[in-house]
Every structure is written in structure tokens, then in C-alpha cells.
Amino acid sequence: MTLLLETRPVPVIDAVIRKNRRLSDVSNGSGIEVVDTEGLRKRWSACWKMAAADRFVQVNWWGRTPTAVLVSAGMWQERQKLNKALVVPDSRVHERPSSDGRTQLTDIFDELEAGVHTVLLFHGKAKAVVVPYVWARKAFPELMLAEPVEPLHSDVAWDGELALVLYRSPRAARRFEREFEGAADPDFEADRRLLSPSSEQARRRQAGLRAVVYVVDGRVERVRAVDPAGEWADLGDGYALAPVSAALTREQIDERFPGLGLYPGEARPAAPGSPREYIDL
């Protein structure tokens, strides 16, 4: 995909912004603006223009879960040139006029679940990009963006066997279907792409992961087992290919995970504040 960009130098990010302060707290003109989704909606124009000026806008879902970062189109392309592992395939790039962003924020955040980067166009030129938070953490390590804290049930043990419940919107599910429509098993290709661990705590969770429950639009679609001895292939963009099994039947779920109690076709409302949660097996 060829984007029309205005060329500008990529700035050096000062260490003063490393603690995710608000712009008003930063004296040297560089910083990260932290907003929640409602704040982004109310200040949409100011936020994307700030990003276009080589500033950073971190967006927290429900005010607490980091979900996206707005960056300039120039910096977005520059980081892909510097690190081939960060290259975003055309299938995961969606262009939108910047004027449509405020009314289409729900769509933009739905697509983030599928790893989609939204390029914002102003008079036909790419100005800013809404990128997944996990990609931004890898692309801009100098920002020292914190690892998102995954919600867990209050009785979950960090070192025990866990199940991951992954919530997807219908739009995100359709995006995966389009991306892998030529694969022999599109659902399998989509389902095995999970977040790559980036901290010791996350690696401990990964080591204990035994099952993944996929929920679409509030209903369980599939349950897959995770091979504890299998290899996680890091894709370099914040995601990895997980060693998941074929979709399990109800009988197989009961046999392998008698304490799970989640079956295809059953309702499963999304956990507030995050598209995923962990439960103890």
C-alpha cells in the first residue's frame, strides 16, 4: 500500500516523557497525552492533530486499559523501515478520512482487536495512525509504555493452570475471516494469533495457559486446548502463533477441563474494561 506523506524528520524522544505524564506536565514540548475513549471522542480533532505533529496520544479503554496509541504517519512508516518485524501487511491497514474518525471510533476500536492500523487522511494525505498498543510498545521502546494488566478473577493463581477468555466483536471476527479466507482453516489461523508475552509476569501466565475460549458478540464460538510443550512463534508485531488444538467438542471440554464450564453456543458477556480475561482452571 502506497501512502502519500509529508516528509518531516523523526524527533528524538526525551526521557522526560517516559512515565506517561500528561502533556500539561511536560515542560519541553514533548510528551504523551493519555485519554480515555470518551475523551478521545470529545477531543478527536485535537488528538489526531497532536499525533500528526509527532506527539503521542495513548488511549485507555474504560479509562484504565491501554488499547491504542495515535502516532504520526511519518513515524509509523519510519519504525517499519527500521525494523522489518514491525511491518504491517496491507490486510491490516485501513484508511479513513480524519473527519470520519469521531463518528467511526467504535469501528476503529473493533478493528484494533484484529491488529488493524487505521491511517487517518487529511485532504488525501496520511497524517496520523491509530495503532494497537502492543505494536506501539515494540515500535517505540524508548517510551517505556507499561505492560497492560490483564483482568483476572479474584481467586486466580498466577502460577496455576489458566484459561484465556478472548472477546471479539462481530466486526473483528469478520476482519479475521477476510484476512484468512484463503487458508485451509481460517478459524484456526485467526485463533492461534495471540498476544506475545513481553514481561516475566506475562511469560508465567503463558506457561500456565491450557485453554483459550473465543467469544464473539457475547457468545462462545470455540474452545481450544493449548499444548504446554508446544512452541510459541513470535511474529515480531506483538503477536505470536500459539500451539492451539482443533476446536473441542463439549465432551472433550469436560474431559480435559472439567472446571472450565464454558461451551460453544452459550452466552458469555464481555468483562468490563478489556477484550480478554484469565480464569483459573
Q: Are residues 138 and 176 in the same domain?
A: no
pLDDT at 152: 47
pLDDT at 190: 92
pLDDT at 234: 84
pLDDT at 240: 86
Q: Are residues 124 and 231 in the same domain?
A: no
Domain count, the chain: 2
pLDDT at 102: 85
- Is 66 a member of any domain? yes
Q: Are residues 111 and 32 in the same domain?
A: yes
Q: Strand pairing partners for 204?
A: none
Helix (H, G, I), strand (E, B) or coil at 244: strand
pLDDT at 123: 92
pLDDT at 149: 61
pLDDT at 186: 92
> pLDDT of 193-246, one tens digit each?
987 776 566 777 888 899 999 999 889 999 999 999 999 998 877 788 999 999
Which one has a higher pLDDT value, 213 or 3?
Answer: 213
Q: Which domain holds residue 249?
A: 162-280
| CA atoms of 18 and 31, how far apart (whole Å) | 8
Q: Are residues 103 and 184 in the same domain?
A: no
- Is 33 a member of any domain? yes
What is the arithmetic mean of pLDDT over 45-51? 94
- Is 151 a member of any domain? no
Full DSSP string of 98-153: GGGTTTTHHHHHHHHTTT-EEEEEETTEEEEEEEEHHHHHHH-GGG-PPPPPPPB-
pLDDT at 201: 63
pLDDT at 29: 38
Write down the mean pLDDT value for the chain: 81
- Is 7 a member of any domain? no
User: Around 224, how many Cα atoms within 13 Å sit in the side-chain half-sphere?
Assistant: 23
pLDDT at 51: 95
Q: Are residues 187 and 138 in the same domain?
A: no
> pLDDT of 54-102, one tens digit each?
999 999 876 677 889 999 999 999 999 999 989 998 888 999 999 988 8
**Over the Cα atoms of the chain, what is R_g?**
19
Q: Are residues 32 and 103 in the same domain?
A: yes
> pLDDT of 143-184, one tens digit each?
888 876 655 444 444 557 899 999 888 888 888 888 888 899
